[in-house]
Amino acid sequence: MKRADIKRRPLADTTLAGLEPESKEYRELDGNGLYFRVKPDGGKSWQLRYKRPAGNWAWMGLGGYPEVSGALARDKAADLRKVVSGGADPLEQKRSAKAAIDAAKTRTFRAAADAWLKAKEEKGLAPSTLNKIRTYLDKDILPALGDKPLDEITRTDCAELQASIEARDAHNVAEKCRTWINQIFGRAIGLGLTENDPGSRLRDIAAQAPKTQQHPHLLEPELGDFLTALKHTPSRLTARTAAWLCIWTASRPGMVRLAEWKEFDLDKATWTTPAAKMKMRRDFVCPLPKQALFALKELRCLTGRSRWLFPGVGAKNPTISENTINKVFATVGYKGRLVGHGTRHTASTLLREHGWPKEHVEAQLAHKEEGISGIYNKAQYLDHRVKMMQWYADYLDQLAVGNVLHGQFDEVV
């Protein structure tokens, strides 16, 4: 329909639907300051022309057509004319309402959590730890609390969240989430964003976690058969070398699978893990026994062009998985009896039983001792640990062949 064909106003529904676009945008009066706008691309919408309190004229959009019908547009226009007659400005009211909504968005738990995590990052928290926090925020906390204003989150909300995590026996996760929620609200309170503190008593109602069990590990009498079996494992070179590196260095499996070639100096027989990967947020120097050096030189022929010592399979797997090392042990018959992390307990127990000083063992495990003496140093007791870990690797070799002369070995300590 052409504009010239319009016969009456208010505009009939058939007119609204049939009006054709022109080369330029145009408006057709419906009545009482309400206009129907047609754009060159065919888009149609409603606008109200009114005089603002300051005396100037303004346009206010009432919505697109056909979502807003003629009848609905006229009702909206009538309501706005009442606002204008009362001395208010609908546009200013709309802007104020939007500003209030925007302000409310900055006071949601999600916004507070993101700002809190950003502050953690700026203070130098390790990227691996930041990623872990981000994972639990996205998986557990934000789906429950994220879109709620800080002032509206109740103790019941927080208690139900904690209970839902405990229900899947993830008590350690529940404890971490409880701590983070309290820190997020604490920061928000400090910034004046809220006075609400709904997570402050969650510890009082936390479910009792089951007694922590140690990672499956082996004791000295069991090591001979295990080491013999491991020497004949059918696992591929990358997997079995990762398993042996855990054993020879007593390193965390996560550190091993994410190890990069640039961290290794095979001439100096050291592996330096950067602070970003360490729980203690300090570089850590690990001595490499001769057995590890031999294995790494063999591995370098296979993966030396990669960033990683132990690359994964496929673009989505840059490194071997968390379970690869455990699968190596399972393959030789030790499923449920030994896991990657358990090799640290095995090393700690055996070294202490053979008289190696606690501080040297703890330093090799990258543990921090209590008090002033525990101030962390990346190369703490390195000379001692070089000697200790070579002794350990040699001792394991003798256990594997059943030819251990305890007196001879213990004299070295």
Predicted confidence (pLDDT) per residue in 195-205, tens digit: 999 999 999 99
Q: How many other C-beta atoms can be found within 10 angstroms of the C-beta atom of residue 171?
A: 16
Which two three-digit tokens encode residue 52? 């603002």
What does DSSP say about strands 57-65 and 264-265: parallel, antiparallel, or unpaired? Answer: unpaired
Domain boundary among 178, 205, 232: 205
177 shares a domain with 302: no
- Nearest in space to 139 (alpha carbons), one of 121, 113, 115: 113
Residue 257 lies in a domain: yes
Residue 4 confidence (pLDDT): 85
Sign (positive or negative) of CA dihedral 203, 208, 210, 211 = positive
Higher pLDDT, 403 or 288: 288
Q: Are residues 402 and 295 in the same domain?
A: yes
- Whether 58 shows a pLDDT value over 90: the answer reads yes
Residue tagged active-site, from 76, 178, 240, 344: 344
Q: For 321, how many CA atoms within 13 A lie in the half-sphere containing its CB?
A: 8
Rounded to whole angstroms, the Cα distance separating 67 from 284 reads 64
The answer to whether the CB of 186 falls within 8 A of the CB of 119 is no
Catalytic residue among 279, 282, 354, 384: 279
Domain match, 261 and 186 both: no
Distance CA 235, CA 374 (A): 39
Q: Are 250 and 287 in contact (CB under 8 A)?
A: no
Q: What are the strands of the beta sheet with 26-31, ordered from one edge?
A: 26-31, 34-38, 44-51, 57-65
Residue 370, pLDDT above cutoff 50: no
Q: Are residues 186 and 40 in the same domain?
A: no
Q: How far is CA 38 from the centre of its chain?
A: 49
**254 plus 241 within the same structural domain:** yes
Which region among 100-114, 159-173, 378-392 has the lowest average model confidence (pLDDT)? 100-114
Does residue 86 share a domain with residue 145?
A: no
Q: What is the reported pTM?
A: 0.53
Q: Do 283 and 366 belong together in one domain?
A: yes
* Residues linked to residue 270 through DSSP beta bridges, in sequence order: 265, 287
Of 348, 152, 404, which Cα lies nearest the Cα of 144? 152
Is 171 one of the catalytic residues? no
Burial class, 146, CB count within 10 angstroms (exposed 0-12 / middle 13-18 / buried 19+): middle
Which of these, 82, 89, 79, 77, lies nearest to 52 by C-alpha position? 89
Asked whether residue 229 is assigned to any structural domain, the reply reads: yes
- Convert the pLDDT of each residue in 230-240 to its tens digit: 999 999 999 99
Q: Which of 376, 378, 381, 384 is catalytic?
A: 376
Alpha-carbon distances, residue 230 vs 1, 43, 324 (angstroms): 85, 73, 14
Judge if the upstream peptide bond of residue 318 is cis by omega within 30 degrees of 0. no
382-401 and 342-353 helices, crossing angle to 10°: 100
Average confidence (pLDDT) over 349-360: 94
CB 245 within 8 A of CB 344: no
Instruction: Choose the weakest-confidence range: 6-15, 55-64, 88-97, 195-204.
Output: 88-97
pLDDT higher than 90, residue 282: no
Spell out the alpha helix ranges (H) of 154-219.
155-166, 171-190
337-348 pLDDT tens trace: 999 999 999 999
Catalytic residue among 178, 240, 252, 345: 252
User: Who has greater pLDDT, 191 or 411?
Assistant: 191
The question of whether 252 is a catalytic residue gets the answer yes
The pLDDT confidence band at residue 105, using thresholds 50, 70 and 90, is: low
Nearest CA among 404, 359, 389, 412 for reference residue 250? 389
Q: Is 63 helix (H, G, I), strand (E, B) or coil?
A: strand
Question: Active site includes 334?
Answer: no
279 is catalytic: yes
Query: What pLDDT is attached to residue 371?
Result: 41
Q: How many domains does the chain have?
A: 3
Residue where a domain terminates, one of 175, 205, 235: 205
CA-to-CA dists, residue 306 to 252, 315, 319, angstroms? 21, 13, 10
335, 355: one domain: yes
Q: Which CATH number is 116's domain given?
A: 1.10.150.130
Domain end residue (candidates: 205, 229, 245): 205
Could you tell me if 310 and 384 lie in one domain? yes
- Whether 384 maps to a domain, the answer reads yes
For this structure, is 341 an active site residue? Answer: yes
Q: Is 354 a catalytic residue?
A: no
User: Which residue is it, tokens 């010239």?
Assistant: 4
Q: Compute the average pLDDT of residues 370-390.
A: 71
**Whole-angstrom Cα distance, residue 302 to residue 318?**
15
Range of the domain at 92: 3-104
Q: Supply the mean pLDDT for the chain.
A: 90
Checking if the pLDDT of 411 tops 90, the result is no
Distance CA(244)–CA(241), nearest Å, equals 5
**Model confidence at 404: pLDDT above 70:** no
Q: Give the whole-angstrom CA distance, residue 240 versus residue 295.
A: 10
Strand partners of residue 109: none
